[in-house]
Amino acid sequence: MIEFGHLTHVGLRRELNEDSYYGDSELGLWLVADGMGGHEYGEVASALARDTIVREIRDGTPLIQAIRVADEEIIRTSRRRHDALPMGTTVVAAKVHGSRFEVAWVGDSRVYLWRDGQLAQLSQDHSYVQELIANGAITHEQARNHPHRNVVTQALGVTDPRNLNVETMTGELRPGMQLLLCSDGLTEEVGDREIARVLARGDCSAQECVDTLVAAALDGGGSDNITVVLVRSH
C-alpha cells in the first residue's frame, strides 16, 4: 500500500509560486516541477510539464519519453506565444509499479530514498555547482553558499530536445521505504541531516512529515518556492 503527503508554499520572498506537482496512487505517478523564467513563464512551464507527463503516462508512454514530450511541448508553446525568453522548468518524477520504482529527473529538483534508517540522494543535480563538485573544484559545503548555485545546466523548455539528458534510476520499493521528491526551495534551506531526522520519525504520517519539512524550510528563510512530495510504502 502507498501513502503519500504533499504540500507547496510560495515561500517568504517570492510573490508567485512557479512550482507545480502531482500525485496519484492509482496511476502510480508523483512529480515535482520547478518553473523558471519570471512572471507568467515559470508557472506556465511547470504546469505544462506536469499536465503533459500525466497525460502521456495515462496513455502508457514510458516515463523518459513522457518527459521528452513535455520538453517539446513547452518549446512549442513558447514559440507560439512569441516569448522573448524561453520558459523552462525542472522536473523530478517517480513511477511506482508493484514493488518497483523508477525515478527520472532534469534540473536540480531532487529525489531521495529513505531505507533502513538511511537517507540517500538518488538524483544528481544538473547544475553548474554540481559540475564544479564533480571536477573537485569546490566541496558540497561550498556549493551550498555558491553565488551560482541556482544555475541549472538542463531544463525542460530550454534544453534542445537533442541534448536533453533525462537521467533515470530504478529500484525496489519495499514496505518502510520512502521516496521524497522536492524542489530546491527545500534543499536550499534544509540540510540532508535534518531531512533524515524528519523521515525517521515513526509517529508521523507522510503528510505530517511533509508539513514539518516545509515549515523547516520557512524557518530557514523561505527564499524560494517550496514543494515537497513524500511517497511511503507500507
Domains in the chain, ordered, with CATH? 2-233 (3.60.40.10)
The confidence score (pLDDT) of residue 141 equals 85
The confidence score (pLDDT) of residue 140 equals 86
Amino acid making up residue 120:
A
The confidence score (pLDDT) of residue 16 equals 92
The confidence score (pLDDT) of residue 125 equals 96
What is the value of pTM for the model shown? 0.96
Asked whether residue 100 carries a pLDDT value surpassing 70, the answer given is yes
Q: What is the pLDDT of residues 183-221, one digit of tens each?
A: 999 999 999 999 999 999 989 999 999 999 999 999 999
Q: Which phi and psi (to 5°) does residue 228 adopt?
A: -135, 130
Residue 190 in grid coordinates? 534544509
Residue 129: strand, helix, or coil: helix
Asked whether residue 229 carries a pLDDT value surpassing 80, the answer given is yes
Q: How far lies 7's CA from each of 117, 120, 205, in Å?
A: 24, 21, 13
Q: What is the pLDDT of residues 32-84, one digit of tens each?
A: 999 997 656 899 999 999 999 999 999 999 999 999 999 999 999 999 988 78
**DSSP codes, 63-90:** HHHHHHHHHHHHHHHHHHTT-SS--EE-
* pLDDT (average), residues 100-128: 97
Among candidate residues 146, 208, 131, the one with its CA nearest the CA of residue 199: 208
Strand partners, 20: 33
Angle between helices 206-219 and 192-199 (to 10 degrees): 150
Q: What is the pLDDT of residues 75-89, one digit of tens each?
A: 999 999 887 888 999
∠ CA 85-145-207 to the nearest 5 degrees?
80
Q: Residue 105 is inside which H or E element, if any?
A: strand 100-106
Q: Rounded CA gap, 47 and 49, in Å?
A: 5
Q: Rounded CA gap, 34 and 89, in Å?
A: 5
Q: What is the pLDDT of residues 124-181, one digit of tens each?
A: 999 999 999 999 999 988 988 898 888 899 999 999 999 999 999 999 999 999 999 9
Q: How far lies 159's CA from each of 121, 128, 162, in Å?
A: 24, 14, 8
